[in-house]
Structure 1
């Protein structure tokens, strides 16, 4: 059975108030007394009941990151950037995946609200997020992550995905591809829609270029493999170039083509999005639109801590990063590690 504060106080020969001060306000206790209490804590193996303390304070020591897919290496890198800020503020960071489901996202946000987390970084599934109003009323700061805010009263950190989609498509067009396909995940996800909009903007600049769209069921390797089969079924003006909404989709397309004995980029040039670590290590190194993953998480967590530490003040900011294109073998026969 765990030792109690009362047992620590008895062993150290001090009051319960002194134990509380050592744990919460050590500067108020003399060095000699503090050392005696700390020795008693070590001898008894006492562990403070942080849950009870948080209940009294009305707030936990947790920062939550809610993302579309907690298995996606992109979001793991983003979370690592946020965790560095949590560590610096003596907070525990928890990573939660919504599975690209609005119902699951709302359920998770409700549970996090009940846990009284200090703040939430949210990469939302759709546009309608009912729990946001409730979190605002409770005073729990929420910063949108990898998604820009459309209201001045909400901080956000995002990447210019329209520009990224344009960048990827323009690259394929510059290589001579005129029959293109955009492979995207659920259209409910704004990042996917923005990347497609940028791709279509690039195509609109060329009367001889066409782009079709394949909507995948998710932003996963498995969904990408299924999309590859649908691309191969397009016998009228078959695409020679594919722009994928993320790297996992792109890797699924690439793997399926290779397994069917086809060649990349000869039979299909492929561009992904995110530039996760797996992109460079693919069977054919993947050309990808690069986002500053760790920087996104770090910047979003910094904005969140600004709100945590300055509640009641207008500290809302919207930050937008500019993506870049990393060219590799999935589009360029002469690839030598180029960056555009």
Structure 2
């Protein structure tokens, strides 16, 4: 059955297509007689006005766009849920796109959302995209970056203190006596990854005799973590005694890979992740983590976007908001073996071993 179009209504009413459009969007400018003919045609044909068409002409002021980083990581879902919940409270809706770690897909979603004329954007960005967002802002679409701090004062952002979180993770491993640390993650072109590694490096530099190696896991998934754990277990002569995984999914995979080959976690290798995903708390060996409050990030991002739209629901002292991470200790780094290690006091001149035998 053919869907009735606006041109069918125009033909039946004996008016132009633009006159029907005016009837739907600006009826006050039409004469009563013209309005009556169009109303009769709509009723007889069973025409249903296209809400999408009206939004294209006027801009969708009640919808925002959210481009997620990677939904394979539950942390993205926590942020998205917080954004949607705040939007619902405010009478808005959210269109969601998943870049899945692809720069090209990220740009495609930006173009799509701008064509849809959403009122604003929240984006978990992969790379330096601020010039593009500045162009969109000049054309009337403000935005908020999540996951990393903006580099320009005009760009709003909400981020976790990734470098501080990386420092906390490595410092915890060092504090329980671990000295041969490995960082599992990548790629380092992703700012969040490089900052977490830099923070861990700072902690290692504080302890004499400590070292830090790198094992790449560029897709940051549980499968990548499992492969890394298997590789470490197969090279026992270079087995680290502490692992900092770039996120909890990688960390859970590392634990599974190590234990599959008889490596005891945490006795032989202590493992800590990053993000604070709920699944990390209920795994067979609950994973220690650096928790960043995804719910707070999502809510803050939404509220900050409303401020950019001139509809503030709370006051911000800066366009760049940073949330502090928190260490959560669980079984993957706790236990008798961890307690048996002795803690060496930090040394500001301690060497940093940045060789990457697993790379």
Normalised to the residue count of structure 1, the TM-score between the two structures is: 0.82
Once the two structures are TM-superposed, the CA of residue 109 in structure 1 deviates from its matched residue by 1.2
Equivalent residue number for residue 303 of structure 2: 302
Equivalent residue number for residue 331 of structure 2: 329
Equivalences for residues 37-116 of structure 1 within 5 A: 49-59=50-60, 61-116=62-117
Separation in structure 2 between the aligned mates of residue 17 and residue 203 of structure 1, nearest angstrom: 68
8 Å contact kept, 2:72–2:221: no
Unmatched tracts of structure 2, length 5 or more: 10-20, 28-42, 338-359
Structure 2 residue matching 1:148: 3-state secondary structure? coil
Once the two structures are TM-superposed, the CA of residue 88 in structure 1 deviates from its matched residue by 2.4
Equivalent residue number for residue 355 of structure 2: none
Once the two structures are TM-superposed, the CA of residue 170 in structure 1 deviates from its matched residue by 0.7
Deviation per CA, 1:271-303, whole angstroms, max 9, x where unpaired? Answer: 000110100111100000111111100100111
Once the two structures are TM-superposed, the CA of residue 65 in structure 1 deviates from its matched residue by 1.3
Deviation per CA, 1:221-243, whole angstroms, max 9, x where unpaired? Answer: 11111111332344444201100
- CA separation of 1:89 and 1:315: change in aligned 2, threshold 3 A: farther
Equivalent residue number for residue 319 of structure 2: 317
Equivalent residue number for residue 353 of structure 2: none
Is the counterpart of residue 187 in structure 1 residue 188 in structure 2?
A: yes
> How many equivalent residue pairs?
310
Separation in structure 2 between the aligned mates of residue 56 and residue 213 of structure 1, nearest angstrom: 52
Separation in structure 2 between the aligned mates of residue 148 and residue 164 of structure 1, nearest angstrom: 14
Deviation per CA, 1:10-32, whole angstroms, max 9, x where unpaired? Answer: xxxxxx9998799xxxxxxxxxx
Separation in structure 1 between the aligned mates of residue 300 and residue 235 of structure 2, nearest angstrom: 42
8 Å contact kept, 2:252–2:280: yes
Larger Rg: 2
8 Å contact kept, 2:233–2:261: no
Structure 1 residue matching 2:60: 3-state secondary structure? coil
Structure 2 residue matching 1:309: 3-state secondary structure? coil
Separation in structure 2 between the aligned mates of residue 298 and residue 273 of structure 1, nearest angstrom: 20
Structure 2 residue matching 1:93: 3-state secondary structure? strand
Once the two structures are TM-superposed, the CA of residue 61 in structure 1 deviates from its matched residue by 3.4
Separation in structure 2 between the aligned mates of residue 64 and residue 305 of structure 1, nearest angstrom: 13
Once the two structures are TM-superposed, the CA of residue 63 in structure 1 deviates from its matched residue by 1.2
- CA separation of 1:197 and 1:65: change in aligned 2, threshold 3 A: same
Separation in structure 2 between the aligned mates of residue 141 and residue 17 of structure 1, nearest angstrom: 29
Equivalences for residues 147-296 of structure 1 within 5 A: 147-296=148-297
- CA separation of 1:98 and 1:89: change in aligned 2, threshold 3 A: same
- CA separation of 1:2 and 1:89: change in aligned 2, threshold 3 A: farther
Separation in structure 2 between the aligned mates of residue 102 and residue 20 of structure 1, nearest angstrom: 38
Separation in structure 2 between the aligned mates of residue 180 and residue 46 of structure 1, nearest angstrom: 67
8 Å contact kept, 1:182–1:244: yes
- CA separation of 1:4 and 1:235: change in aligned 2, threshold 3 A: closer
Once the two structures are TM-superposed, the CA of residue 116 in structure 1 deviates from its matched residue by 1.2
Deviation per CA, 1:31-66, whole angstroms, max 9, x where unpaired? Answer: xxxxxxxxxx9xx99865221221221335321111
- CA separation of 1:309 and 1:58: change in aligned 2, threshold 3 A: same
8 Å contact kept, 1:69–1:98: yes
Deviation per CA, 1:60-84, whole angstroms, max 9, x where unpaired? Answer: 5321111220232101001111112
RMSD (CA atoms): 3.2
8 Å contact kept, 1:153–1:316: no
- CA separation of 1:291 and 1:46: change in aligned 2, threshold 3 A: farther
8 Å contact kept, 1:306–1:315: no
Separation in structure 2 between the aligned mates of residue 126 and residue 171 of structure 1, nearest angstrom: 29
Equivalent residue number for residue 26 of structure 1: none
Once the two structures are TM-superposed, the CA of residue 89 in structure 1 deviates from its matched residue by 2.7
